[in-house]
Each structure stands twice: as structure tokens, then as C-alpha cells.
Structure 1
Amino acid sequence: MIDISAAIMHHPRRAERIPALVRACAPLAPAVVADPEPDGRPSPLRTAKRAWAAIAPGATHHMVLQDDVRLVPGFAEQLHRAVSGRPDHGVSLFCLWHTPHNSYLVRRAAVAGAAYAPLSPYEWTPTQAFVLPVEQARALADHLAGIPDEVQDDDEMIVIFCREQGIPVVTTVPHLLDSGHERSLVEGHSDGLRATVYTPGTPWPADGAAGPDLPPGACAVELFDSVCSIRMIYGDPVEHQFPWYWYDACPLMGFDPEAVLDAGAAHLSGLPAGLARTMSEVWAAAYLLGADVARLVPGLPGSGTLTRVALESWIDQGLSTRDREAAGPLRDDCVRLAMAAVRQALSDRRLAHA
């Protein structure tokens, strides 16, 4: 039987959020763990240490929430189902829309209709809401207690802990919460911290049954500043600023870049010069996503709500400032193009190398 205890990491600047967040957790009754040095240098790690140690007696699992999240309706019931489906895993309930590796792994799962996305063992663990079996939660609390608060980021310490302990980590698709959409208290963390796949009106799992996880591939496709790139999931530092341009790196994924462009020719022909480059990059990103999934789960339609939401968040964070601010329906055009690219790739066998 699954019995989940919970704690909320709390900073006094966000005191007005706590009553609503506690109510949204019901019937769970989370402990509210305040930052012990609220006027000190911001450090999520400082509060996370105490939140991971605040385990209720008799619990089988422990969850730590941050105080700047918005939970889906019926959160506790969906949480219980998610943890029950992967009781020996670390289960994250959220993934930021722009992370180099994990957001792509989530988008792959969304296109495939999977209820969970395995996360990278090298990219920081999404800790906005994270659950561990209680034995591992206690071990994590002990581990974090020995790390100086100046290290600051709990997510970077938790991914190391899970990797070294051999704990597999997944996130729910769709997510069970979204960020509060306000600027982080930690310097250097940008605002606009949105979820990759958030559909509060669609209870988890979206298809009513938890499907198989997709194994992570060697590469992740990135859309950033209106440019499509490819990153190596294993071997490259997560936060390096020099991914490979998609056309050059396409063979690393086993695909012919000219075939990607040929597949989009009918969709991209006749575009004004000012739009052609951006739309070509969106096409390449979405087509490669669909082709990547098609190798693992053939025969998918690629037209569901999760696919659309995953592509919308990709485009919203991936267009350049200039493109986002451009007049006209560019954003909606990009979403339609991306949906068409995914659908075509899922049914196209021309890309795979022999």
C-alpha cells in the first residue's frame, strides 16, 4: 500500500501561496518547512535539506514540493496513481520546458502517448515536486545534510545522488503541476519557468493506462532562438552553449538531412524570405522528434492533445525574441507546421539509414 508523506519548501516572501497550496494537496497534509535563513543568500538546498528530512511516520514514500507551483485539480489522487505505477523509482511531477535533455525526453513520451518519461541521469533532476521511496528519501536527507548551503542548487545534488544510488527517475506525462510563472528567488534563474506538457483538464495518465517507458536515445533535439540543434545526451556537458546544428549532426541520429528537408518541401515552399528560415528550423525539429519516436513505436497518429501541447511549449520557448514579437499568426503557423511534421515523420520510412 502506498502512503505518501509530503513537505513544502517555503520562503516567507511567498507566504500568501501556502494556504491555497496546502488545500490543493488535500487529503495529503504536507508539512510546511520554512527557509531557516530567509534573509540570507538564496539557497534552495538550505531548505531542501530540512524538507527531505520531514518524513511522516509510517510513510512508504516522501514528496517535496516547492512553494511556487500550481497543482492540477485532483492532485493527490493522480499523485497516488503515478507513484503506484513506479513505486521503486524517483518520480518527478514536472519538467521545465527548455531543459536541454529532459524536456526533449518528455516530448518524445508525449508523442508516443507514454505516461512516464525516463529522465537523464546527468541533467539536473526537476525538483519542483519530487517523490522518492522513504528509505531513499532518508538517505537523500542524510546526503544533502553534508553539503554546504553555498552549493545552492538542490536539483544538481539530487541527480548526482540518484545516479550514484542507481535510482531510476521518471516524470509524469502530462505533468501534475506547473510553475507559478514568477521569477525565481535564486539569482541567475530566469522567469518563464513553464512546464513542458501541462494539461490540467486531462487527468493523468492521459490515455487511462500507464504505457511503457521509451528508452532514452543518444541525442536530444533542441529548438532555441529559432534554431534547431542536436545535443549528445551522454558525454557532453549539459549546460554547454555549443550544440551541433541539426543539418550537420543529423547522421548521428541515423537520419539523412536532405530527406528531412525534402519531406517538408511542400509545406515550406512559397514562404516569404523572412519566414522561410524560421519555419524550416521548426519543421526540422518537429520532424526529427517524430522520426525519433517512430523508430521505437511505429504506427502512431501523432495528432493527440499531448503532442500539440508539447509542441506548443517547444515553440513558445524556442522562437527568438524577434520571432515571438513579430506581428501576425507566426506562432500558430509554427504549431500547425510542427504538428504536420510530426505526423508525416511518424509515417515516413525514408529517413532511416540502411
Structure 2
Amino acid sequence: MTKVTKLHVSSAVMTHPVRLVQAQHLAARLRLDGLAVDPDPQGPPSALRTALVAWSTAAPGASHHLVVQDDVDAPAELLEIVTRTAARFPDEALVFYTNWHARNGAAARLAALAGASWVRAVPDEFTPSLGVCLPSRTAAAFRAYADGSVERHDDELLSVFFRGRGRMSLLAVPNVVEHIGTSSINGHAAQGIRRAACPTSAADAEPLLTRGRVLEEPGWIPYMRYGEGYVRLVGQEQDTDGGRGHHRWRDALPATGIEEEAVLDALAHLPDDLAAGVARTFGREFAEELWVHCLLLGCQAARAAHGLGPAPDDSPPEMLDRMRRSAVATVGPAGLPPERRPEAGPDEVRTMAAFAWAAIRAGERLPAPRPGA
């Protein structure tokens, strides 16, 4: 391998011929180095096939390589932000987008509420691969690892690769990469609208990512999928199914140390006006699931914040507040079933966000989890 003499981030947009023009515009606007086109566009859909081309385009002498997918939006400052964060974390795999309804998206949302700008990815889920920067040595190792694999999802294989190395990626909590559209060449269209968990402007993201705190271990993580609340438990990746199963919140409560009576009491006292506003469009059952989810989110975020310690002296509090509001604004639409997400217009999103904040504040007041849970 060519010797790396200084920090330099090379870059590529991975694309398919049907999106070639879109990818060309993206690369030009973001001043990225070039395109990595699917080498077998008529073959079976495979994101990994194109990803391997993209990761092979690292420039000679580059210390890091950034790969973004063609169906994203990002600020013109993306490359500068990536370069500065790579300088801060030179040996880490850095991820700049998290899916709003996935476990890693939920981890980012929890970290945002706790006041962290980075969070370690969970080991039992795919690595969000819409915008990823790897050290060049890591990129080369991943290419060697993935060569000949029958897996077609690069995001799944990235997680397997990181797990094998004993260190998952770092997720940027303020997302500067956003997914656009609902189509999917790789078969994910059924997931509907897929947005970032915490969309953030470049002006806020840059100081947060270069100076903000890191949440290494978020603990158990509440998340929603298809209108129902779940909890990702600590050590779940050691389950016989590799941790890919889903634990409903009521079943998971004993492992969190939170008494079910406390949750049910809070559920009995949810704010009627806001609950009615959510239920009017999405039903009472969804409103109650969203309430419990955000109640647990508030409880666990308060615990995580305590473990983080004090913020740096130059931490921008107003930016942290905007990051938290952004994360909470996505929790309602992300929790809906895919077919219902288009119904979440601006008014519905505001109502769900106000409802979510009420639940988060109530969660912060829940009795402390049992010691040792």
C-alpha cells in the first residue's frame, strides 16, 4: 500500500447507470473525486458489488476514503466536515447518516437527548452506508474481507466486518447526510420514506462533530418500528439469532430495571389534548405506543447524560438544543408504519413532537432503574 504522509480524504459516489446523471450532479456539487458505477448493472441487484468498486477508488496516499450513495443530499461543506472529523478520530469508521426508524437511528436520537455528538453503533444491526468514511487501511481490509462474498447488502457486511474486528463504527449524531426519495435499487422501497434521525445544518454539525462528546455505551435503547415500541437490550447481539430479534417494551422492562407499574402509571396520566391530537390521525394505539417509547427514551437519555460527564467549556449549548429538537421532531413520523408516514404533514409532525417532549420529560422523572439491571 502507498505510504500515507498526511491526512487527506479521497471520495467517491457509488451509483447505478439509471441514476448516473443524479450522481454526476451530486459529485460536482460536493466536489467529490468521482463516480463508482455498478460494474454489472444488468445483474441481480447488489449494493455490495458497487460498494467494492467505490472503496477501491481510494486515491494513492490518501489517509481516508469517503463513499456516499447517489440518493442523498448533503451540504456543500460535507468534505470539509468529514476531513475535520477524520482528523479528530483518525482510526475510526465514521458514519454520517442514521436511518430514523432503525436501532442505530434510535441510538443517535438517545445520544442527542443526552447531549452527545457521536455514539457507538450497535453490533446487531446494519451499518447505515449512505455516507461513510474509513481509514484507507480499513477500506482495503474491508475489500479483502468482502471479496467473493455472496452478500448483496454492503451495510450488512460492513457490520459483520466491524464486529469481527471488535469495534463498531462511530455514528455522527447530527446527520449531515440525508436520504432522498423512496425508490431503492437494492429492494428497500417497502420501507417507505427513510429519513435521517437527526438532520442538522452544516453550521451546527461542524462544531458539534469536532468538539462534542462521545457516547460509547448507550445501554438499552428504546426504538419503534411499524407503529410499535421495542427495546434493544445490552448484549442482545449474543442471542442465538445474532441479536436481530425484536423485544417488545413490556417484555424488555425487567432487563431495564424500570418497574412496569411506573410506566403504566405514566401512561394513565398522558396529556389528553396532545394524545387526542395524535390519535385523531394515527389512532389511540399508536399514540400510546409513542408515549411509552418516548417515556423510556427520556428515562434512558437522562441516565446516559449523567454518565457522559460535563460538557466541554466551549460546547455550544444552543446548537445542542437544536440538535435535540431535530431528533425529537423525527421520532413520530419514524415510528409510523411505512404506509402511514406520508400522512405526517407539518401540523401532524408538530403535534407528535409536542407529545413526544411531554413523554420525554415524564420519563426523566421516572424512578431510577433498579441497581444491577
Q: TM-score, normalised by structure 2?
A: 0.83
Contact 2:298–2:360 (CA<8 Å) still a contact in 1? yes
1:80 is matched with 83
Q: Give the secondary structure class of the aligned counterpart of 2:214.
A: coil
Deviations 1:208-239 (A, max 9, x none): 75333223345331223332222334334478
Amino acid at match of 1:137: A
Contact 1:183–1:192 (CA<8 Å) still a contact in 2? no
Change (3 A) 1:343 1:309: same
For residues 73 and 343 of structure 2, what CA distance do their matches in structure 1 show? Answer: 27
Matches within 5 A, 1:145-224: 145-148=147-150, 151-190=151-190, 191-200=192-201, 202-205=203-206, 207=208, 210-224=211-225
Matches within 5 A, 1:224-243: 224-232=225-233, 233-236=236-239, 237=241, 243=246
Q: Give the secondary structure class of the aligned counterpart of 1:279.
A: helix
Unaligned runs of 5+ in 2: 1-5, 312-316
1:125 is matched with 127
Matches within 5 A, 1:66-105: 66-99=69-102, 101-105=103-107
Change (3 A) 1:277 1:290: same
Change (3 A) 1:35 1:291: same
Count of paired positions: 347
Deviations 1:259-312 (A, max 9, x none): 134345443347658754332221211111111121121399999222222222
Change (3 A) 1:344 1:65: same
2:360 is matched with 342
How far apart are 1:22 and its partner, in Å? 1.4
1:15 is matched with 20
Unaligned runs of 5+ in 1: none
Percent of aligned positions that are identical: 29
Contact 2:14–2:38 (CA<8 Å) still a contact in 1? yes
User: Larger % of helix: which?
Assistant: 2
For residues 210 and 59 of structure 2, what CA distance do their matches in structure 1 show? Answer: 30
Q: Give the secondary structure class of the aligned counterpart of 1:204.
A: helix
| Cα RMSD (Å) | 2.9
Change (3 A) 1:20 1:340: same
Contact 1:93–1:129 (CA<8 Å) still a contact in 2? yes
For residues 74 and 83 of structure 1, what CA distance do their matches in structure 2 show? Answer: 14
Contact 2:111–2:117 (CA<8 Å) still a contact in 1? yes
User: Which among 144, 153, 174 is matched to residue 142 of structure 1?
Assistant: 144
- 1:245 matches 2:253: no
Contact 1:125–1:159 (CA<8 Å) still a contact in 2? yes
Change (3 A) 1:200 1:73: farther
Q: Which one is further off, 245-254 or 169-178?
A: 245-254
Contact 1:73–1:200 (CA<8 Å) still a contact in 2? no
How far apart are 1:183 and its partner, in Å? 0.6
Change (3 A) 1:65 1:331: closer
